Amino acid sequence: MLNFFKKKNEELYSIANGEVISITNVNDKLFANKLLGDGVAFLLSDGKIYSPCDAEVVMLAKTKHAIGLKTKNGGELLIHIGLDTVNLNGEGFNVFVKTGDKVKRGTKLVEVNLEFMNSKKIDLMTPIILTNGDEYSLNILKINQRISLNDVIIKLEKNKNGGKSL
């Protein structure tokens, strides 16, 4: 029975070194008002973005600013690197994965050229949101503090009824 529960819950580790903040503090109403889903945001210290868990890359924006991951328990995560970065058309991003790749926790996904982003005055607040939140609950463990890649930030818990009415 314990194995049954392990499959339903998943730990999400930090995607970056830096600081984790509340999604409501993101300088974009789409994220701050949780219109795309709930989550947290990261203030990057070194520009490197890593997978928060074992997952499949299910989406990579042509502009390289956003990555979609599907966790082993079916959670769908969107990592949106910076704000208004879609307008850069991929410039300033070095991507290490492609759609369909299976990644392990800690796999480097993207490296951001911080010098370039600073020259363009880009806000690099980086939200990670759960896009299928009707099926899952987020238990946010760390907020408004410095973090490293070894920190568990969120417990992703599959709802008992899978989000469907009984």
In this prediction, residue 162 has a pLDDT band, given cuts at 50, 70 and 90, of: low
Residue 61 DSSP code: -
Contact 110, 91 (CB under 8 A): no
Q: What pTM was estimated for this model as a whole? A: 0.91
Give residue-wise pLDDT tens across range 135-152. 998 999 999 999 999 999
Whether the pLDDT of residue 21 is over 90: the answer is yes
Q: What integer pLDDT is reported at residue 94 of this predicted model?
A: 98
For 29, the enclosing helix (H) or strand (E) is helix 29-32
CA distance 64 to 147: 24
Predicted pLDDT at 161: 64
% residues pLDDT > 70 (the chain): 92
Q: What is the mean pLDDT of the segment spanning 44-67? A: 97
**Residue 32 pLDDT > 50, yes or no?**
yes
Q: 151: phi > 0 → left, psi -120 to 50 → alpha, else beta; which? A: beta
Active site residues: 80
What is the predicted pLDDT for the residue at 9? 87
* Residue 64 scores a pLDDT above 60: yes
